[in-house]
Amino acid sequence: MDEDFDWFAGVDWGNTFHQLCVLDRAGRIVHEASVPHSGEGLAQLVKHLLDHSGGRADRVAVGIETPRGAIVDTLLAQGFGVFAINPKQVDRFRDRLSVGGAKDDRRDGYVIGDALRTDRRRFRQLVAEDPLVTELREASRLHDELTEQLVRMSNQLRDELNGYYPQALVHCPAANEPWLWALLERVPTPQAGRRFALARLGGC
């Protein structure tokens, strides 16, 4: 048994709620809680862990299925030991408790915490990243999200224009160029386009 941690917590990560289960070194459940996926919920999660460890974050090992994100960054910043495990491995540990192996958020918090207590070598310990790396990753994520949004909105615009204003797509079939959006603000309909003087295009 590991001697450097006194409490082992499993967090079943979810898009709406996170399920927390805290065990002592003997495997007894000392606390369970469900917290919302929000900044307030993350603060609640930290408080639950500190309250049931006497404020000793360094004596708490936390297992989770995601290796990055706000929840991981916050736990590391607070001084908790944070360990990531592949969801497929959690499936195998779940089989130790139930023949059916059906997923249950509340039970999975316990499964992760107990597996961390008994099989910590199966987990990967996480370390805090350089702030610049975190900033770069978040900027990259935001870029990807905005690119996806641009493609989605351009496709919607193209579909609309195909239906009532196909002339606008002659020189921009994908409807994804800023000059086309500016032009549509000036000439939003085919009727307006027919009255629009070519000499005025320079102002778009």
Worst-scoring range by mean pLDDT, 71-75, 160-164, 196-200? 196-200
**Are 42 and 34 in contact, with CB atoms under 8 Å apart?**
no
> CATH 3.30.420.40 occupies which residues in the chain?
7-125
Query: Which strands form 17-24's sheet, in the order they lie side by side?
Result: 29-36, 17-24, 7-12, 60-64, 81-84, 124-125
In this prediction, what percent of the chain has a pLDDT beyond 90?
A: 54
Q: Which of 10-19, 127-136, 188-197 has the highest mean pLDDT?
A: 10-19
Domain 7-125: CATH superfamily, name plus number: ATPase, nucleotide binding domain (3.30.420.40)
Confidence (pTM): 0.63
pLDDT band at 3 (very low <50, low <70, confident <90, very high): low
Q: What is the mean pLDDT of the chain?
A: 86
